[in-house]
Structures are given as C-alpha cells and as structure tokens.
Amino acid sequence: MTDPRRNIPRTDTLLELVPHLSPAKAKQIIREVQDAARAGDIPVADVEAEVKRRAARTYSLHPVLNATGVIIHTNLGRAPLAPAAVDALVAAAGYTDVELDMDTGTRGARGVEATQALLAACPAEDALVVNNGAAALLLATAALGKSEVIISRGELIEIGAGFRLPELIESTPVRLREVGATNRTHLHDYAAAIGDNTGAILKVHPSNFRMEGFTSSVGVAPLRRLADEHGLALIVDLGSGLLRPDAVLPEEPALIAQLDADVVIASGDKLLGGPQAGILLGKKAAISAIRTHPLARAVRIDKLRLNALEASVNTPNAVQAALHISPQRLLERTRWLQQQIPGSEVVEHTGRVGGGGAPEYPLEGWALALPAHLARPLRLGQPAVLPRVHEGRCLIDLRCIPESADATVAQAIKAAACT
C-alpha cells in the first residue's frame, strides 16, 4: 500500500502559493507544514490549505482583549493607542517630512510638532522625546551629571525583568553617590555628599512600590534650592507620565508640578496613553545640553512614534477612558455580560493602573466570575481574551475593553466553554 506521505507537495509547488512572502519566511512555513504532514499531524490533503493559512499573517503579535482590569499592562504592550494615534502611525509609515522644511525644501528639525504638543499640555521651557523612559534617564544623567550624580538609597529602583536603574546609569562614565538610608533620607544627606565631581541630584519616584511606616524623603523644592546653591542640575524621574494632577490618582505626582527641576522624565506609553517614548521636559539650557549630547543620536525616536505621540497628546485616549470609567456603568456592562453567560456571577473587582503607575492604588470596579478552566481557551481563542485568574476563578473585567467589544467578549466566552 502506497504511503500517502509520498504525495506531500514539493517545496517549489508550495512556493507558488505564497508569492507575497519573502523566500526565507515562505520556506520556513512550508518546511514546518511538510514536517507536520510527515509526522501525521496534518493530513496530506490539507497541506496546501495549511500553508496558505499560516502565510496569511506576516507578523507575530496578536491583538488581545485585556480583561484583567490592569490598564497599563506591560505584558500586553502597556498603553493601547487611541484611533487618532493609530492613524498617525499609518500616516508616517511611508515617506514623510520628519526632517524636512516643506516651505524651503531644506532640512528641518526633527520632532518639533510633538514637542510643541507636549509643551502646550505641560508648559515647560523646552522638551525632547527619545526612544523610551530608560533612554531618557540615561541621556539626562550622562549629559548633566558630570562624573557623579547623587541619589537617595530609597530610590535605587529595580523594575520589571530585573532591570535596575543604578546599573543603567552607571553603564556610562557617570557614577552614583548614594545617600541616606533605605527608608529615610534627609536634605543634609544630599548636602554632605556634594563634591567637586558632582554634576546633578537625581530624584526617582518609586513608581512600582510603596514604602510606608518610619520613612522620610526630600521633595523637589528643597532639592531645587540645594542644587542652586551649588550650581548643580536637578533631575526628576517620574516614570508614569501623568501630565497634570488627576483626582482619581490623588497620590500620583504630575509632571507639571515638578517643573522646578532642570529636567523631568516620564514614559509615553503609561498614563500619557501614547506609544513607547521617553519624554524630557525642563529648562532650555538643560534640554539643549541633553539634545546635543552624543548619546542623543543613539536613543533617537523614530518617525512613527513621534507622530503617534503627538496625536496621543492632542486627543483623548483609552488609558484615560479606562481610568475614569464610571463604576456604575462598569457594573451595568458586567451585568449585561452575565445575562449572556448562564451560571456566571458578578463580583466586586479592584482594577489597577499598572505599568508602575500609582502602585497598589485600587480602582473600584466589577468583574464576571467564571470557572478557572476557561482562562486558557479564552487566551487561545480568536479573538484572544486575557482574563485574571484569582482564587480559583477566571475573572473578566471590562474596564479596559471598549464597550463596542462587549458582545465580542460574550461570544468568546461561549466559544471557550464549548472547547
């Protein structure tokens, strides 16, 4: 009896099915499908269809409906972009006037419009945008720190994936001078550490943890006076990107309140609701020194995100919508979802800002409780839905899901229950 695997289509035949792919990608897909057919995992008759199916997507990232209640979910790419920002990405995808003065036809400055949008929202003297928040901190300390920067021991932060800010800063010739104790640092600690090699004082907001009890720290205003007395720069890293005070997050510092510093640093893809970016707002002299530092070229932001950042600053965004959603409206949507899913239960559920913003600060809300075994098929479904698994239950929090997608979530749950 003839082995049907002898009829697996040849590579050159299958290549004709995927002319839109690069040769390397096409051969990778074809080899994987042929190997699966040889192993008996795919019927030989389905090989051509399977090659076409796998070739339909030319990129690997998949859209996910965020049902965790965590607004800035790092594993999901932090802030989702507003429609205007998505349009801006597309508009900048081809040739653009990113560094061209269209009036004169000569080379123009990069990112002017994006920085003007930031300055309109948060009126510092000047602004600069780089690749991400870590790059902004690295560049600011390298440009303003001379050979030594003073920092409190309570602000030597490690963030996700073992990334430590002190190691980042000291990857350049700048060295950190640690002062105070882990839980308490005073102004005289900073003053006593100032020496001939000191270029700046750095204050880092502990964005991903809270320290309570017998603690003390020094605010921006007294540090500003101390820096002026000794001719030092003052750098403040806020991280979360809250431009102005927000009543929903009363303890989260806003950039506009820290502009006494020479430079204030934040990320663009957190509370700002934009793309990945490192934002520096501050004094003209400080921003000029940072902009002209040799490292600035290495951490330059691309045209796509510059355009998306400008649109994000100029329009409402999904982060703000999720942060300010009415608990009553969230309850109504969750009850509607319950009506579609027999046996489900509406429970109180506390949302979070995430991404290092307002650590441990609760956001009142609700969730639909389902059996825990539904979590995996929901994650693997089309569309993918990421729930929170907690205390043996699969929780669906609609806070971060557009209301227009509620029916889609209901269908996804029904499909998951049938697997």
Report d(CA 367, CA 346) in Å as an integer.
Answer: 6
Q: What's the CATH number where 374 sits? A: 3.90.1150.180
Burial class of residue 128 in the structure, from the number of CB atoms within 10 Å of its CB (0-12 exposed, 13-18 middle, 19+ buried): buried
Collapsing DSSP states into helix, strand and coil, what is residue 323? Answer: helix
- Does residue 41 share a domain with residue 70? no
Chain centroid to CA 251: 21
Report d(CA 51, CA 25) in Å as an integer.
Answer: 11
Check residue 1 and give its pLDDT: 56
Q: What's the CATH number where 304 sits? A: 3.40.640.10
Report d(CA 347, CA 335) in Å as an integer.
Answer: 10
Residue that terminates a domain, selected from 315, 347, 363: 315
What is the number of structural domains in the chain? 3
Beta-bridged to residue 278, according to DSSP, are 130, 267
Residue 271 resides in a domain: yes
Give the pLDDT means over successive 10-residue stretches in the chain (419 positions).
84 94 95 94 94 92 96 94 96 95 92 95 96 95 96 86 82 94 94 97 82 87 98 94 90 92 96 96 98 96 97 94 95 98 95 80 94 97 96 97 97 93
In order of 21, 150, 307, 316, the CA distances from 89 in angstroms are 23, 39, 6, 16
Contact (Cβ atoms closer than 8 angstroms) between residue 49 and residue 43? no
Q: Which residue bears the tokens 């790059």? A: 135
Domain span holding position 395: 64-74+321-417
Check residue 161 and give its pLDDT: 67
Residue 345 resides in a domain: yes
- Does residue 127 share a domain with residue 197? yes
- pTM beyond 0.85: the answer is yes
